[in-house]
Structure 1
Amino acid sequence: MTLSETTGRMYPHHVEDEYQKFVRRMNPPRVVIDNQSCKNATVIQVDSANKHGILLEVVQVLTDLNFVVTKAYISSDGGWFMDVFNVTDHEGNKITDEGILDYIQKVLGSETSFTGSIKSVGSDRTVIELIGTDRPGLLSEVCAVLTHLKCNVLNAEVWTHNTRAAFIVQVTDDESGLAVTDPERLSVINQMLCNVLKGSNKAREAMTVVSLGAVHTERRLHQMMLEDRDYDYERNCSGLDGLEPQRPDVNVVNWFDKDCSVVTVRCKDRPKLLFDTICTLTDLEYVVFHGHVDAEGPNAYQEYCIRHIDGSPVKSEAERQRVIQCIEAAIERRVSEGLKLELCTTDRVGLLSDVTRIFRENSLQVTRAEVATRSGKAVNTFYVRDASGYQVDSKIIDFIRKEIGQTILKVKANPQDSDSSPQESPTRFLFGGLFKSKSFCNFGLIRSYS
């Protein structure tokens, strides 16, 4: 049986699925794009029949287009859902390209799922998912194995967090340029990569999955690390040079008068922050039925009214702590300590293996990587740090750039390392007045689990 978000009644799964499809066909999403009402942002409003996960689908489309969400208002009432987003490009400009605006209308206005977006991987390549204990040189070893097995890495993304490393690698056969489909060869790839990742015989130590199915890379990385319980590891409280990194401020309280929980997030703003938090709430099976996001300054504020998909608020201190830990982990996974390096050159088989080998030989550890191939060009971003945890010696970087090519490998400023001082957002938040009101602060309405 499934609780209908449209009627509030219980239905058998197949009946509810068909009913939801019927509702969406009768009420296709309505998308309004407004470049006039806001001085410094494009306003995108999406009205649609409600279903679990629809908020994430919309946010995913905006994120894949590399939009910056400066403000957002989220509301759902029974069977209807409405979102309003203020977005810009990364230069802070409105979105005026007619082709992009038409794409938004087409994708968000579709009555089908939005998730087949521009960052989803098709079946023309083999997708390899890896997760295991992080260590210096791990990416280099993985790339060396793939090169040895005659696999060409087209795209890859690597995240590290709380001693764990997760990879999604897209490969083709280096001779045919097609996806690797032979079962025996896939089995060999799986076994050899698993051997690289194992390190010991402990449970949950390593996992390797090879598939041909479509996958959204960043969405899947969040799911992999959540399933791996990276949030539940003993925290390493020191960053580079032993300094404690700035942690996000996440809180969860119950609002019993409305039978819901309120999640607040305060942290330094960065690209894709909204996507990361909504991913986690969706994967934890919570429904956001009201919310407000403000990221116009250097810091971001997010506030969500949530219920579990069974209609209940957060039920215990253990559940509250888990929600907090999972959201913190989702935010921290994409925070990159270390030096940002960008590589741009003509792609060739084994390029990634050679570059990561040079990093390893010079005692650099990759904390995060984004590898892409575009029109025959390799466009790669690496965040590196000294394998001992100290800042990277500039002499080592100079040596590596000479070996790889100074015009090929460039050092980039990492905006996350800027020293902007924290400050409260000036915007009046959706529930701010409620928190300050006498009735809301009454202990009979809010229970703090602390």
Structure 2
Amino acid sequence: MAMKGYLDEYEKLVIRMNTPRVVIDNGVCSSATIVKVDSPRGHGILLEAVQILTDLNLSIKKAYISSDGRWNMDVFHVTDINGNKLNDQSVLSYIEQSIETVYYGEDIEVNGLTALELTGTDRIGLLSEMFAVLSDLNCDVVDAKLWTHNGRVASIIYLKDCTSGSPILDPHRISNIEGRLKNVLNGDNNVNSAAKACVSMDVMTHVERRLHQLMFEDRDYEKRSKRHERDPMVVVTVQNWAERSYSVVNVHCRDRTKLLFDVVCTLTDMEYAVFHATINTSSDQAHLEFYIRHKDGSPISSEAERQRVIQCLEAAVERRASAGVRLELRHPDKQGLLAEVTRTFRENGLNVTRTEISTSCGMATNIFCVTDA
């Protein structure tokens, strides 16, 4: 019994030592709330902290990331979407509690829904055809996100059965849904489209991180055409600092929400560790500098790898920065609503570049970024 008590106390000590410590200060800076995070080094811990802040639609105006041996010190200067300091105590408490539990990989699981992952070649009317197929198959779209970049499209769609309201689990029905959607994604028998449509087994991964992963797996970063020119406002450089065995990555672009998340997400999923970083924003511009290594401690080792990092980070910045007009539609949810709305876009020659679909309490909120064909 004495040994068991000793082990319990030791386990509690280990938990306390490895739990991130969060300090939130509203008095030091006149223009932003300071969020300081002390945490043990671990792959993905920085990304999780940034994810929590950006999921609250907070703007990260400045950030300083520093690693000392096995410990990290991260400092974020954050404001709300209107540029104000954070004064809502419930928001401050949520930030503190969420970051302090993130070390243990706690995520929200999507229950009662079937998740579909789709990738393929983008074209006008694609979204309309996808939602028409799902409506025809008696599928209710509860939530969805779709990104387009460099002529490619990636989407995650959460479904349930229209009649029963239950998740779709029947293997034959799932196979039919996947097959019909893949035919739509393939378009006019385009064998080179490399379309994919499948039920997601990775429901625990953050949706926007998963979209980055789908685009990365689809190699959207290297598929450019004259119609999809690189954004000249996005400048990425990578140099090696041989004396310290770091690769130094600089990103300069227009500032926007979730920019830091997109860049850190890509570096993390490419298996790079961020040891030091400085993020500064001024007016509508952002400058991000990262000192990175591979997880094994080595810097970038070849010109081909350097170019690949540049391409992938350019793509990470561009994916969410879709051009076009942002339209938001709120309407009581009903079967076929999305098919009707997106058919209107198609019939008027409008291309949908980004989509966010959500439903709550019988009300659908649909956000579309649209451009001329």
TM-score category by the smaller chain?
A: over 0.9
* Partner Cα separation in structure 2 for residue 144 and residue 237 of structure 1: 27
Which whole-Å deviations, capped at 9, do the CAs of 1:215-237 have from their partners, x for residues lacking one?
Answer: 42111000000011000113436
* Partner Cα separation in structure 1 for residue 102 and residue 147 of structure 2: 33
Q: Secondary structure at the match of 1:279?
A: helix
Distance change (3 Å), C-alpha of 1:224 and 1:22: farther
Match of 1:205 among 168, 191, 194: 194
Which whole-Å deviations, capped at 9, do the CAs of 1:10-50 have from their partners, x for residues lacking one?
Answer: xxxxxxxxxxx995553311000111111011100110111
* Partner Cα separation in structure 2 for residue 155 and residue 236 of structure 1: 33
Shift, 1:363, TM fit: 1.1
TM-score in terms of structure 2 length: 0.92
* Partner Cα separation in structure 2 for residue 276 and residue 257 of structure 1: 29
Which whole-Å deviations, capped at 9, do the CAs of 1:98-124 have from their partners, x for residues lacking one?
Answer: 1111111111112643551xxx55132
Shift, 1:371, TM fit: 1.1
Q: Secondary structure at the match of 1:314?
A: coil
| AA aligned opposite 1:219 | R
Which whole-Å deviations, capped at 9, do the CAs of 1:81-103 have from their partners, x for residues lacking one?
Answer: 11100001111111111111111
1:157 alignment counterpart: 145
| AA aligned opposite 1:217 | V
Which stretches in structure 2 are left out of the alignment for 5+ residues? 1-11
Match of 1:70 among 55, 61, 69: 61
Which whole-Å deviations, capped at 9, do the CAs of 1:118-163 have from their partners, x for residues lacking one?
Answer: xx55132111110000010000000001101111111111111111
Matched-pair contact (CA < 8 Å) for 1:61–1:115: no
| AA aligned opposite 2:145 | E
Shift, 1:75, TM fit: 0.9
Match of 1:37 among 28, 32, 52: 28
* Partner Cα separation in structure 1 for residue 219 and residue 212 of structure 2: 11
Q: Secondary structure at the match of 1:187?
A: helix
1:327 alignment counterpart: 313
2:83 alignment counterpart: 92
Q: Secondary structure at the match of 1:385?
A: strand
* Partner Cα separation in structure 2 for residue 190 and residue 22 of structure 1: 49
Matched-pair contact (CA < 8 Å) for 2:254–2:285: yes
Distance change (3 Å), C-alpha of 1:111 and 1:64: closer
Q: Secondary structure at the match of 1:336?
A: coil
* Partner Cα separation in structure 2 for residue 29 and residue 57 of structure 1: 11
What value does the CA root-mean-square deviation take over the aligned residues? 1.8
* Structure 2 residue 68 is the aligned partner of structure 1 residue 80: no
| AA aligned opposite 1:354 | E
Q: Secondary structure at the match of 1:101?
A: helix
Q: Trace 1:432-447 onto structure 2 (pairs within 5 A).
A: none
| AA aligned opposite 2:177 | I
| AA aligned opposite 2:167 | A
* Partner Cα separation in structure 1 for residue 325 and residue 104 of structure 2: 38
Match of 1:367 among 347, 353, 368: 353
| AA aligned opposite 2:66 | S
Which whole-Å deviations, capped at 9, do the CAs of 1:198-217 have from their partners, x for residues lacking one?
Answer: 23353561011213633421
* Structure 2 residue 249 is the aligned partner of structure 1 residue 263: yes
Shift, 1:195, TM fit: 1.1
| AA aligned opposite 2:368 | F
Match of 2:301 among 315, 320, 330: 315
Matched-pair contact (CA < 8 Å) for 1:123–1:214: no
Distance change (3 Å), C-alpha of 1:344 and 1:224: same
Match of 2:46 among 55, 58, 62: 55
Shift, 1:380, TM fit: 1.3
Distance change (3 Å), C-alpha of 1:197 and 1:48: same
Q: Secondary structure at the match of 1:66?
A: coil
Which stretches in structure 1 are left out of the alignment for 5+ residues? 1-20, 388-450
Distance change (3 Å), C-alpha of 1:140 and 1:121: farther
2:372 alignment counterpart: 386
Q: Secondary structure at the match of 2:312?
A: helix
* Structure 2 residue 32 is the aligned partner of structure 1 residue 46: no
Q: Trace 1:48-197 onto structure 2 (pairs within 5 A).
A: 48-110=39-101, 112-114=103-105, 116=107, 120-197=108-185
2:222 alignment counterpart: 232
Distance change (3 Å), C-alpha of 1:251 and 1:70: same
| AA aligned opposite 2:369 | Y
* Partner Cα separation in structure 2 for residue 62 and residue 226 of structure 1: 23
1:418 alignment counterpart: none
Distance change (3 Å), C-alpha of 1:196 and 1:97: same
Distance change (3 Å), C-alpha of 1:215 and 1:39: same
Shift, 1:313, TM fit: 0.5
Distance change (3 Å), C-alpha of 1:295 and 1:121: farther
Report how many residues are paired. 360
* Partner Cα separation in structure 2 for residue 28 and residue 188 of structure 1: 46
Shift, 1:165, TM fit: 0.6
Q: Identity across aligned pairs (percent)?
A: 53
Matched-pair contact (CA < 8 Å) for 2:151–2:224: no
Shift, 1:164, TM fit: 0.3
2:211 alignment counterpart: 221
Which whole-Å deviations, capped at 9, do the CAs of 1:304-359 have from their partners, x for residues lacking one?
Answer: 00001111111011000000000000001111111221111111121111100111
2:337 alignment counterpart: 351
Distance change (3 Å), C-alpha of 1:211 and 1:323: closer
* Partner Cα separation in structure 2 for residue 350 and residue 22 of structure 1: 55
Matched-pair contact (CA < 8 Å) for 2:45–2:103: no
